[in-house]
Amino acid sequence: MARFQDELPSQQGWIHELAQGELHPDAEKLLQLGKSFDPQQLVEESSIDFLTDLRELLTDFCRIFNAYSESGSRFPEIKLYGIAQSAADFMLFRNQIKLIFMNSAHGVIQMSFSQHSRGGVTVDGLDQHSGSYSNPTPILPSLGPTQELIAQVGAFREIYWSYHGEKVSPEQVARFYFAEFIKFSRDLKRSKTGNQVLLDQIKALLQEKGLDL
C-alpha cells in the first residue's frame, strides 16, 4: 500500500480514466469509436513528456546550482532557454557553451554540446537579426558530436527510452548531462590566472568542508 501511495499522481492517471469509464460507460463507448492503438502517437507524446521532465529537472538543478554563484559574483550562472518553434526543445547556456536537448526525429531525442561563435551578431546564443539560435560548432569529441535517446515500444504498449541499448530515466539523463555541462562550461580563464588562485580555491573548498590545508 505504501508503494502505491508513493507514486506520483501523473503515474496514476490511467486508473482515473478507468474509473471515469465505469461512471460514464455509454459516453466512453462513444468516445472510443474508431480509436485504436497508435504507437506513433504514443511515441510522439512520450517524446514531449520526456523532454518536459528533463526541463523541469534541469530547471531545478540550475536554481540550486546558481544559488551558490551569488548572482554571478562567484562564478557564471547557468541559463535555460526554450527553443522557438518546437514543442519542448530547450538548451542550457553558460560561458558560450550550449547543451541542446532536441526531438530531432520521430522517437529520437538528441543531446549535443556546442560552442557559440562570438562574431558580434549574437547574444547569449540568440541571433539578433533572425531571433533564433545560431548553428552551433560541435565540440567535445570524447562524447561524440551528438548523443541520442531512442524510444522503444514495450510488450504492454508502454514507451521507454534507451541510451546505447540501455533503458534510462529522465533523472539519470538530467543528472549526467548537467554534471558534464558544468565541467565543460567552466570558465577556463579563471583556472589559468596562476597558482595562487588555485591555492585559494583549494583553501576555500577545504574550509567549506570543515578541513584545514
Instruction: Give the mean model confidence (pLDDT) for residues 39-64.
Output: 95
pLDDT value for 156 = 87
Q: Provide the mean pLDDT of the chain.
A: 79
| The three grid cell numbers given for residue 172, joined into one nine-digit string | 539519470
| The three grid cell numbers given for residue 73, joined into one nine-digit string | 559574483
| The three grid cell numbers given for residue 102, joined into one nine-digit string | 532536441
Kind and range of the H or E run holding 53 = helix 39-67
Burial class (CB in 10 A: 0-12, 13-18, 19+), 105: exposed
Is residue 54 within 8 A of residue 181, CB to CB? The reply is no
Q: Is the pLDDT of residue 186 over 70?
A: yes
Instruction: Give the mean model confidence (pLDDT) for residues 144-171.
Output: 91
How far apart, in Å, do the first and last CA atoms of the chain sit?
A: 51
The model's pLDDT over 5-37, given as tens digits with 9 standing for 90+, comes to: 555 555 677 788 889 889 888 877 776 654 566
pLDDT value for 81 = 97
Residue with cell 463507448: 29
The model's pLDDT over 123-139, given as tens digits with 9 standing for 90+, comes to: 344 443 334 444 444 44
Instruction: Give the mean model confidence (pLDDT) for residues 166-191.
Output: 87
At what angle are helices 170-184 and 39-67 packed, to 10 degrees? 50
Q: Is the pLDDT of residue 176 over 80?
A: yes
- In this predicted model, which residue has the larger pLDDT, 188 or 179? 179
pLDDT value for 195 = 64
Please report, to the nearest 10 degrees, the dihedral formed by the alpha carbons of residues 165, 136, 82, 152 taken in order. Answer: -20
Domain ranges of the chain: 35-188
| Whole-number CA gyration radius for the chain | 22
Least confident of 84-98, 126-140, 141-155: 126-140
Q: Tell if the pTM clears 0.75, that is, is over it.
A: no
